[in-house]
Amino acid sequence: MQSSNPVLNRSSAFAPGQGQAYPGAAPYGQPSPYGGSGMPPQQYQGAPAASRPMTMDDVIVRTAATLGVVAVVAAIAWKTIPDTVVGPTFLAGALVAFAIAMVLSFSRRVNPVLLMIYAAAEGVFLGIGSKFIANWVGDSGIIVQAVLATMVTAGLTLATYKYFAIKVTPKFTRMVIIGTMGFAGVLVINLLLSLFGVQTGISGFGPMGLLFAALGAGLAVFNLILDFDMIEQGVRHGAPQSEAWRAAFGLTVTLVWLYWNILRILAILRGGD
């Protein structure tokens, strides 16, 4: 089973059922659900990072660090980038973030330094984009609302996934993948049309923009479910600790996507000055 997030697809650690298990995947003497037997988790305490299995704490710490860079750079971009270069800087941040994301997505091992550069580029994009939307609405408080709404949505999604023991089936996975790819395809076509002066309203602040922002937020939630499941499987599978960086990257991509669409929804519902 594969996550729709390509970041998590590049490692077998997040693809259970392939007959591979890392040490620590299951208590000593008990068979791992993915083949082989593991060693007790406490054996890895104090061991080199590369030899220890990934834990949820590893994922949380690295995700917090990555999102922290995004937030700090976004704040700096908001405060320091002059209005005269907002457009080019916004586009540059988006393109750099996209290019690095593609490199990281197809890398066998996620480079933490390159990941932080990606986070910085994403921060420039979000900082300028958020400032534009806040100015359009006429209230910078909408940014705080969007951040809180993103945190609550992600928290509720995780709670729902755990409390209701949601099973991520192959059919559900295929539906989310197809929906995500279709959504991305429409956005690419819309971008190409806009270059020729054709405006579809998909990226605007009208009814069509609201519809696609809501659809994007919904797909982001479904991707979060898949990512939570893949990370949980990676921990059970005994994935190396280094894979926590890949998990952090995957969550960052999805959470940024969720935030941006929630911000657009709030802005459209509020309306501009």
> Per residue in 34-62, pLDDT tens?
233 333 333 334 445 555 888 999 999 99
Between CA 39 and CA 134 the distance in angstroms is 52
111-132 average pLDDT score: 95
What is the DSSP code (8-state) at residue 14? G
Between CA 64 and CA 123 the distance in angstroms is 14
Count of all residues that appear for the chain in the document: 273
Burial class for 111, CB neighbours closer than 10 Å (0-12, 13-18, 19+)? middle
CA 113 to chain centre: 17
**Three-state secondary structure call for residue 128:** helix
What confidence category does residue 20 fall into, taking pLDDT thresholds of 50, 70 and 90?
very low
Q: Check: CB of residue 28 under 8 Å from CB of residue 37.
A: yes
What is the DSSP code (8-state) at residue 260? H
Between CA 158 and CA 34 the distance in angstroms is 24
pTM for the model stands at 0.80
Higher confidence at residue 71 or residue 29? 71
Mean pLDDT of the chain: 81
The backbone region for 29, taken as left when phi is positive above 0, alpha when psi lies in -120 to 50, beta otherwise, is: left
Q: Above pLDDT 90, what percent of the chain?
A: 48
Q: Alpha carbon of 240 to those of 25, 40, 132, 182, 235: distances in Å?
A: 10, 15, 41, 33, 9
Higher confidence at residue 156 or residue 184? 156
